[in-house]
A and B are shown apart, each in its own frame.
Chain A
Amino acid sequence: MNVLLAGRTWLGREFLTWLLWKSESTEPITLVDGRGVTVVFNGKLTLRAGSNEVVKAQVEGVTSPYSKLVKKALSQHMLVHTAKLQVTHREQIYDFVLDADTFDIKSAKLPALMTEFDDDKLTERLELARRAAELIDALMREFIDERLVTTWTETVDRMREWMVTP
């Protein structure tokens, strides 16, 4: 596999931290097929730091990702490493866990199947898995587009402001 990408977990952590910040407004973060994609962090969240006194912290609870405690930890240079997310697109809801190392889709609850026939069910599950992957890719693309432009420092300033705002 592509060795160039090895050792870049930090970018995955920046992405998940950016996504947490973006998601608090509940506004769509990006568009897929012309329709908004909204994200809510709604469960267990793991934070990691490279060289802090505390290198790993974990919170649990539906609203805990947006708690003061998490913002405080982020302001002290911890970043989101693993998160449980709910992604909504076209009124379909996808629940899953992502981690900054691999971005494997874990414990995913895909939208309910509409079809009744076994063969069609398989096709539909494959389509839903594909759609979940597309949504994650679209969110990552949105982040990378913002990350690579010179205004990234302004974005970071706004993120830091949010971290210290109760």
Chain B
Amino acid sequence: MSDLRKGAANIARTGIDIGKQEEKLIPTDLRKAAFQPIDVNGDDERSAGFVEFESQDSTEFSKGAVFHGMHALFAYRVDRLKVPNSKIRKGLLEWAQGFEQRNGRAPGRRERAEQKEALKKLLRKTVEPTTKVTQISIDLEARELMVWTASRSLADEVQAAVESALDARLTHRVPAALVPVHQLDTIAPTPLLFGAQS
């Protein structure tokens, strides 16, 4: 994890094209895509969405909580709830032994599978979800989105979530982005640098 406040910074950055009017709607848009806790009675193992920058449990997104000078600050929370396989195996073994004592035979494949599902549902209520929070800053002046993470896959997910929630267009900050569009198709790798076969 990379912390905006301190330590080494890992930043995935993109340009963000968002209108002045839409800027004001950032808190509303974030609220619509806010993080929802995982329902322990359901089947979902993962939940992701936006939370406030200062509190991973708050999704009110008041203007004061989002805007910090010329920046919009918020975070992306991912919760995972997975019952460890070792717990399921242990529970299943105990159940199978009891079943054998009661019925004088080992449980069949189908009975075992049904018990495994039931056990999984039961154990979900005893497992605490793991939480990962990624900080996000939008520089409203420079029109730049910064996702403070070293994980490329997480950065991709957050960027896609921001793009969708704010209805914004993101552009990579790479050399090719500075090439005029009409020239993009005309430039090719330099043969003397890449070798004649490139």
Contact = CB atoms under 8 A, between A and B. Distances in A.
Note whether A and B form a binding pair. Answer: yes
Contacts of B13: 103-105, 133
B177 A143 contact: no
B196 to A, nearest CB: 9
A12 to B, nearest CB: 6
Contact of A14 (B144, B181, B189): B189
B198 to A, nearest CB: 5
A35 interface: no
B17 to A, nearest CB: 10
B118 interface: no
B195 A125 contact: no
A77 B170 CA distance: 33
Interface in B130-159: 137, 139, 142, 144, 146, 150, 152, 155, 159
Nearest to B137: A126
Contacts of A1: 14, 159, 163, 170-172
A49 B69 CA distance: 45
B179 interface: yes
B24 interface: no
Interface stretch (A36-44, A56-64, A82-90, A152-160): A152-160
Nearest to B144: A133
B197 interface: yes
Among B11, B155, B175, chain A packs the most CB atoms within 10 A around the CB of B175
Contacts of B174: 5, 8, 11-12, 102-103, 140
Contacts of A49: 194-195
Interface stretch (B1-9, B43-51, B83-91): B1-9
Among A105, A107, A134, chain B packs the most CB atoms within 10 A around the CB of A105
Given A1-B14, A1-B170, A1-B172, A144 B194 contact: no
Contact of A125 (B5, B187, B192): B5
A104 B173 CA distance: 8
Contact of B11 (A105, A137, A157): A105
A67 to B, nearest CB: 19
B175 A126 contact: no
Interface string B91-116: 00000000000000000000000000
Contacts of A130: 139, 142, 144
B21 interface: no
Contacts of A104: 10-13, 152, 155
A103 B173 CA distance: 7
B142 A148 contact: no
A148 B71 CA distance: 34
B150 to A, nearest CB: 6
Contact of B150 (A4, A106, A140): A106
B5 A121 contact: yes
Contacts of A66: none
Among A77, A109, A153, chain B packs the most CB atoms within 10 A around the CB of A77
Among B11, B12, B144, chain A packs the most CB atoms within 10 A around the CB of B11
Given A49-B195, A105-B11, 10 more contacts: A1-B171, A4-B181, A5-B177, A10-B198, A11-B179, A14-B175, A15-B175, A102-B172, A121-B5, A148-B187
